[in-house]
């Protein structure tokens, strides 16, 4: 299904969007990638959603991406004897390992690793930062705190520890089981929650064994501090602004978002901007003006994708939310200012033959009447490099590997076409011309740029560029051999 925009739309599936009819409607409305949240739903429920998406792929002839989002280490308080308590500003409150029910003066925090890392003066945030505690004294099994911001604390509310790098295992036992399940199932992307250090990504890479591309979610200050190292070992990034906005001063989030998006673009790695993008559409068929501006800002920055969470998973208007995101993206990309901003923000260092080839392809396409840039790719790297250039013409990525096509669904402006394995460049040119015509990007009288690597079917060998007619007869007459 050809889109009239370059940025991709990710929609989370959930109770509001778990039927074939609804998932198909979300794809028709604009969803390019579906997110399966492993924090909710059994393995059997995830398997059913996965099967439906693959059925819709066959029915529509589209390539649809599937992103499985691991829960990550969730830190939560225990339970209270009355289910909740009111914490008053200035009062004392203890967190400890005692499993007894909590009260107004204490509650269990069943995570000894937190106590090992805490120091006096550290902050603890409860229930998305609505309650703030300051550590006054701590030991291996307790933390005596002062209530800085009070409020109602109830059973199993989440806890954030922004001031320290926690000695937590990167993947919980649940995450390991979920990872194995979804990799065997055949998802395209695996999102890692609460990444703190590059070693967290490397552990997941060892377990996944290349079966899925790895997307690191940046939602902790420690991840921001070590972002360059995390980016280097990740296949993509999600700017997850929910926990990031809890653990950092809220005004820090927009500049961090801009900085991370630009770094991902320079590295030719897909980046998703996520969390609360159209939050009001959980309950309303219309978004707020501020939310529309938020989505537009991410697109103007050059993000590869924008994501819906509860809006499409549990909201009352999932189709409207996807359609709104699609419409905002389409309108922004028609704005001449968008092109100016995108082209002014190209910052990539070009140091390889492949870098030069894709830059030349963009220059040729934008200075002549070229209809598309077609590339042949095994691993997806060539397509990602072309997408980094943010050309003004469509990108058609031809690959014999369904796995590569699925991973490229997150990449800006990239339209994937599955093709047979080829051994000669001339046949690659013919296949590119045919794909451009059949997918509606060009007519026989038009021209395309073809980028590939010789020898064929070797990763990382991008070294050839040709401007070719879309009329196959002209290709054969110009190069009869």
CA distance 19 to 35: 14
How far apart CA 2 and CA 154 sit, in angstroms, is 48
| 431 alpha carbon, distance to own chain's centre | 30
Which residues are the active-site residues?
35, 76, 217, 275
For residue 186, CA distances in Å to 190, 212, 245 come to 10, 8, 32
Q: Where are the extended beta strands (E) located within 170-249?
A: 189-192, 213-218, 236-240
The whole-angstrom separation of Cα 311 and Cα 50 is 20
Phi, psi of 210 (to 5 degrees): 80, 5
Q: Dmax of the chain from CA atoms?
A: 85
Closest CA to 305 of 410, 212, 459: 410
- Which residue positions in the chain have pLDDT lower than 70? 1, 348, 477-481
Taking the chain, what is the end-to-end CA distance rounded to the nearest angstrom?
35
pLDDT of residue 481: 52
Q: Please tell me whether residue 229 adopts helix, strand or coil conformation.
A: helix
**Category of 182 on φ-ψ map: left (φ > 0), alpha (ψ -120 to 50) or beta:** alpha
Tell me the whole-structure pTM to 2 decimals. 0.93
Rounded to whole angstroms, how far apart are CA atoms 66 and 41? 16
- Chain centroid to Cα 211, Å, comes to 17
3-state secondary structure of 207: helix
Q: What is the pLDDT of residue 478?
A: 65
How far is Cα 252 from Cα 260, in angstroms, rounded to an integer?
Answer: 12
């Amino acid at each position: 299904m050809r889109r009239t925009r370059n940025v991709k739309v990710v929609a989370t599936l959930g109770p509001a969007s778990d039927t074939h009819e609804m998932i198909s409607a979300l794809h028709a409305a604009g969803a390019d990638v579906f997110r399966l949240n492993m924090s909710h739903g059994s393995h059997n429920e995830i398997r059913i959603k996965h099967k439906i998406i693959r059925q819709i792929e066959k029915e529509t002839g589209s390539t649809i991406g599937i992103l499985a989002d691991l829960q990550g280490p969730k830190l939560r308080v225990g339970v209270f004897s009355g289910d909740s308590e009111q914490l008053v500003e200035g009062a004392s409150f203890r967190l400890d390992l005692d499993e007894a029910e909590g009260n107004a003066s204490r509650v269990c925090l069943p995570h000894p690793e937190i106590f090992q890392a805490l120091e006096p003066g550290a902050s603890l945030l409860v229930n998305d930062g609505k309650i703030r505690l300051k550590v006054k004294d701590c030991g291996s099994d307790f933390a005596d705190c002062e209530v800085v911001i009070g409020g109602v604390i109830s059973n199993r509310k989440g806890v954030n520890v922004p001031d320290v790098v926690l000695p937590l295992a990167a993947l919980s036992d649940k995450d390991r089981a979920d990872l194995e399940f979804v990799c065997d199932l055949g998802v395209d992307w695996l999102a890692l929650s609460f990444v703190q250090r590059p070693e967290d990504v490397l552990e997941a890479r060892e377990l996944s064994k290349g079966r899925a591309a790895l997307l690191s979610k940046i939602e902790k200050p420690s991840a921001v501090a070590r972002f360059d190292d995390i980016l280097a070992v990740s296949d993509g990034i999600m700017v997850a602004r929910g926990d990031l906005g809890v653990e950092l001063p809220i005004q820090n989030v927009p500049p961090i978002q801009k900085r991370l998006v630009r770094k991902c673009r320079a590295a030719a790695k897909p980046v998703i901007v996520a969390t609360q993008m159209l939050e009001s559409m959980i309950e309303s068929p219309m978004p707020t003006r501020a939310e529309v501006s938020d989505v537009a800002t991410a697109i103007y920055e050059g993000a590869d994708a924008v994501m819906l969470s509860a809006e499409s998973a549990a909201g009352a208007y999932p189709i409207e939310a996807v359609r709104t995101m699609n419409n905002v993206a389409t309108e922004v990309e028609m704005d001449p200012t968008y092109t100016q901003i995108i082209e002014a923000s190209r910052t990539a260092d070009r140091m390889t033959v492949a870098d030069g080839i894709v830059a030349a392809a963009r220059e040729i396409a934008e200075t002549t009447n070229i209809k598309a840039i077609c590339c042949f790719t095994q691993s997806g790297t060539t397509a990602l490099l072309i997408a980094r250039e943010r050309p003004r013409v469509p990108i058609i990525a031809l690959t014999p590997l369904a796995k590569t096509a699925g991973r490229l669904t997150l990449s800006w402006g990239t339209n994937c076409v599955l093709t047979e394995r080829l051994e000669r460049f001339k046949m690659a040119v013919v296949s590119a011309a045919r794909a451009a015509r059949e997918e509606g990007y060009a007519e026989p009288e038009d021209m395309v740029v073809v980028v590939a690597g010789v020898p064929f079917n070797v990763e990382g060998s991008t070294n050839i560029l040709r401007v070719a007619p879309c009329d196959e007869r002209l290709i054969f007459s110009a190069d009869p051999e």
